Chain A
């Protein structure tokens, strides 16, 4: 993917996070669009690019919460790297597999995030993990699959349109 395309996708996902995530939230449960972009690109690229992308996306998120600057960068770097390693072994177009992948990645990400965020406080960690992280992971996974379907459908239509225009 060219850098400019990547930049556009990045901006689109952050726009989605800023505008849509709040509106789509159910209480404290909302989809994590920046995590989706990391997961999606990490499995389609490799661990090197996954780690870099995770760091950039996480750092951009951290800018809005400088008290914990570096926390999202740290967790998303690990997520990107891990999924990049697994990337070649995954069935990237199987929606059921993607659903599980997005969900597990979101839970793993939040697990590390909450450990540091709560200062290893077991009570707060457990409450947030059960009431926010797990439902958010399910929500993120469902949204991820829908976005994937929309992107695939749009890409197919664009290719078909361009093919018709040429002929």
Chain B
């Protein structure tokens, strides 16, 4: 066995390097679904418990302050909701009179971010809700600031969110002011480019870009960025529209998954004015 001795004794460092490089390149070349399956199996075994523990301690530190702020916020929102209810009834009556198509509202599942890839060029998050909470692949994910991505992989009690700051996750968008339609693609950091914009289209710096809702997957009207620069493309036929997102993708802690659309008149989540929680909140004072 002189050949093996040469490989694994005398040149074992070079042999190891060659094997590991081939293995790494093979991992890079295998199809995306298989990559995800492999990574998830190992991730669940190694990192999930550690992530949960870390998250628990981090949450514990801020939970008291956050709770007080949230109570205050909920109380003010309760009162605001009561006021909006009046407008809702009135709006419903008017819509019926005008025979408009029934509008739909979103059913949101709040989720906590329990993990994120450790890369500086990160593209995915792990959330604490999965198929047990009706989460499905391709469901849109929102944050307080707007649309952030879609579900790419679902497990029983967790799911992966592919953020829009990924090369393979473009989103249909439109200019809120001029209603110009385009496709928003990630460029780098929080910067995006709006594609398919003609030279004659009216897009200006400072315009807000919102999701177009075309295709029916991503809900319409959620902000995805603000136009930061507009210039002519080299072909002279289209505009190069650069946009910057308000979302800080590196510090997302809570997100909302859109699991369903429900009729506007049924979209009442906390309509219990006699509930103990609301009474307590109002008694505590805003």
**Contact assessment for A18 and B51 in the assembled complex, using a CB-CB cutoff below 8 Å:** yes
**Contact assessment for B119 and A60 in the assembled complex, using a CB-CB cutoff below 8 Å:** no
| A27-35, A89-97, A148-156 - interface stretch | A27-35
A71 to B23, CA, bound (A): 11
**Contact assessment for B38 and A65 in the assembled complex, using a CB-CB cutoff below 8 Å:** no
| A-contact bits for B82-119, CB 8 A (1 contact / 0 none) | 00000000000000000000000000000000011111
**Contact assessment for A70 and B27 in the assembled complex, using a CB-CB cutoff below 8 Å:** yes
The residues of B that contact A30 with a CB separation of less than 8 Å are 120
| Residues of B in contact, count (CB < 8 Å) | 47
**Given A52-B16, A74-B21, A77-B20, CB of A63 within 8 Å of CB of B42:** yes
Interface residue from B16, B27, B30, B122 paired with A48 (Cβ < 8 Å): B16
**Contact assessment for A81 and B13 in the assembled complex, using a CB-CB cutoff below 8 Å:** yes
The 10 lowest CB-CB distance pairs between A and B, nearest first, are: A70-B27, A64-B117, A74-B24, A66-B39, A65-B117, A70-B28, A48-B13, A47-B13, A69-B35, A73-B24
**Contact assessment for A74 and B124 in the assembled complex, using a CB-CB cutoff below 8 Å:** no
A72 to B39, CA, bound (A): 13
Q: Is A51 an interface residue (CB 8 A)?
A: yes
A124 to B47, CA, bound (A): 31
Interface residue from A63, A71, A78, A117 paired with B39 (Cβ < 8 Å): A63
Interface residues of B in 36-53 (CB under 8 A from A): 36, 38-40, 42-43, 46-47, 50-51
**Contact assessment for A128 and B118 in the assembled complex, using a CB-CB cutoff below 8 Å:** no
- Give the Cβ gap from A157 to chain B, nearest Cβ, in Å: 27
Q: Chain B: residues with CB nearer than 8 A to chain A?
A: 12-13, 16-17, 20-21, 23-30, 32, 35-36, 38-40, 42-43, 46-47, 50-51, 54, 58, 115-124, 162, 166-168, 187-189, 250-251
A48 to B250, CA, bound (A): 35
- Interchain Cβ contacts under 8 Å between A and B, 5 examples: A66-B35, A66-B36, A69-B38, A78-B21, A81-B17
Residue of B39, B50, B251 with most partner-chain A CB within 10 A: B39
Q: How many A-B residue pairs have CB under 8 A?
A: 128
The residues of B that contact A119 with a CB separation of less than 8 Å are 167
**Contact assessment for B116 and A60 in the assembled complex, using a CB-CB cutoff below 8 Å:** no
Contact residue range for chain A?
Answer: 35 or more
Interface residues of A in 116-144 (CB under 8 A from B): 116-117, 119, 124, 127-128, 131-132, 136
**Contact assessment for A74 and B25 in the assembled complex, using a CB-CB cutoff below 8 Å:** yes
Q: In chain A, what residue has the closest Cβ to B124? A: A65
A127 to B190, CA, bound (A): 13
**Contact assessment for A62 and B120 in the assembled complex, using a CB-CB cutoff below 8 Å:** no
**Contact assessment for B13 and A51 in the assembled complex, using a CB-CB cutoff below 8 Å:** yes
**Contact assessment for A28 and B189 in the assembled complex, using a CB-CB cutoff below 8 Å:** yes
| B-contact bits for A32-56, CB 8 A (1 contact / 0 none) | 1010000000000011100110110
**Given A25-B250, A47-B17, A132-B120, CB of A55 within 8 Å of CB of B24:** yes
